[in-house]
Structure 1
Amino acid sequence: MIDYRIRPVENYTDKIGELVSMLEHARQVTLSEISSFDQSELDYLPSQHANSIGSLLFHIASIEFVHQVISFEKRDLTLEEIKKWGMALSLGSKARQEITGYSLNYYLDTLSEVRGKTLALLKSKDDTWLFEEHNWDNGVPYNNYYVWFHVMEDEMNHRGQIRALKRQLGNR
């Protein structure tokens, strides 16, 4: 059952617990949207420029992974990480060709694995960490709170795309 309350979560500091509550709510809603999809629905492409539901799910996981690296490790992706996650990050024609044929469990496992690491890493931080400021390569400042807000924002944006694709599939 989806919890519609934002509140601190046990074993996290107050603000991080609230963030975890929001991340988990966003994920529960996403999972409820896709819970009964089969492979053909996950691979559905309504046009040559669209992204499939499966590729959007892999993108959601990849964005979270990248933001783990940015906020917890303070580094860019390695070549090996780019090889694994890069296509899902950028989506596009190559992703349309290669992110296909995977079962719902594949996407669920990927999302779960990445989220599990996020939750473990967040347990090691306190609320002051959320407000630590850094600068992007172009000099624009950001803090860790924004990084994790963006992870949530990105998932919700792509969940909207998933809902539109569901309507185009004509079911649900």
Structure 2
Amino acid sequence: MEQKSNAVDRRRFIKQASLATLASGALLSWSTPPLQPSGGSLNDINIVGPKDGYSPQVGTLVSMMNWMRYVILRPVQGMSTKDLDYLVDDKAKTIGAMLYHLAATERFYQVDTFENRAWDDWDAADAEEFGVAMGLGDAARASIKGNPLEFYMEKLDRVREHSLIELAKRDDDWLLSVDQDWPWGPTNNYCKWFHVVEHESNHNGQFKFIKSRIS
């Protein structure tokens, strides 16, 4: 019963975060109260550490996921479809495609770590929805366009909701368990999920650069 209640609370937080993002037409300053983070509250966005409903290390990871998600949404608030489709040149990525890519990355790490499946062992539905976005490149430039911000937010929120629900079921031993066969070499689940966080940080820089070039 408590687990069901936690899931409902997380769903409410995610929905509120989306509404707050889409309602604002301008960037927030650091002095402005932050967006409602997924799975957290307005009061603890800058507190990295254990969180209620999670084991200590898992909660610390979730706090980093919340903070980074808030940061990457700041540059895209109020963007039009035209802005989201803007290409700096014919080899560049659009902000819309990269938002989709972030949802795809998180989804595929869910499959790997929560379902204990090999990389590229995706269900047909996941491959169809997220395969192009994961690869980016020419295929993404050709097909990921013409969508409003709500389109990308739905995917980011839906995937994140599943992450939070699944992470609440797991403990620190799971987070620290090591995959000996990972391409990077021995890698634990903590490193894989930290990569999901820093991957968003990487694209955040691209968002800001592209936004500075939009006339």
TM-score > 0.5 by shorter chain: yes
- CA gap 1:86/1:6 in 2 versus in 1, 3 angstroms: same
Equivalent residue for 1:133, pick from 175, 178, 182: 178
Matched, 1:169 2:208: no
2:165 match: secondary structure: helix
Shift of 1:138: 4.9
2:179 match: secondary structure: strand
Aligned position for 2:148:
103
Equivalent residue for 2:83, pick from 41, 52, 69: 41
Could you say which structure has the greater relative contact order, defined with CA pairs below 8 angstroms and 6 or more residues apart?
1
Q: Structure 2 regions of 5+ residues with no counterpart?
A: 1-32, 35-44
- CA gap 1:52/1:139 in 2 versus in 1, 3 angstroms: closer
Shift of 1:4: 2.1
Matched, 1:122 2:164: no
* TM-score (normalizing by structure 2): 0.76
Aligned position for 1:12:
54
1:67-125 residue CA offsets vs partner (Å, 9 max, x unmatched): 00010001121233222211111100110010001110111111000000000000000
Distance 1:146 1:13 in 2: 17
Shift of 1:137: 5.7
Shift of 1:45: 0.6
- CA gap 1:42/1:10 in 2 versus in 1, 3 angstroms: same
1:158 match: secondary structure: helix
Equivalent residue for 2:127, pick from 75, 82, 86: 82
Moved more, 129-138 or 18-27: 129-138
Q: CA RMSD in A?
A: 1.3
- For 1:53-68, list aligned pairs within 5 A: 53-68=95-110
Distance 2:184 2:206 in 1: 32
Q: Structure 1 regions of 5+ residues with no counterpart?
A: none
2:46 match: secondary structure: coil
- CA gap 1:74/1:31 in 2 versus in 1, 3 angstroms: same
Give the number of equivalent residue pairs: 170
- CA gap 1:138/1:162 in 2 versus in 1, 3 angstroms: closer
Identity of aligned residues (%): 36
2:79 match: secondary structure: coil
Matched, 1:21 2:63: yes
1:27-56 residue CA offsets vs partner (Å, 9 max, x unmatched): 011112211101000000111000000000
- CA gap 1:67/1:169 in 2 versus in 1, 3 angstroms: same
- CA gap 1:78/1:135 in 2 versus in 1, 3 angstroms: farther
2:207 match: secondary structure: helix
Shift of 1:134: 1.2
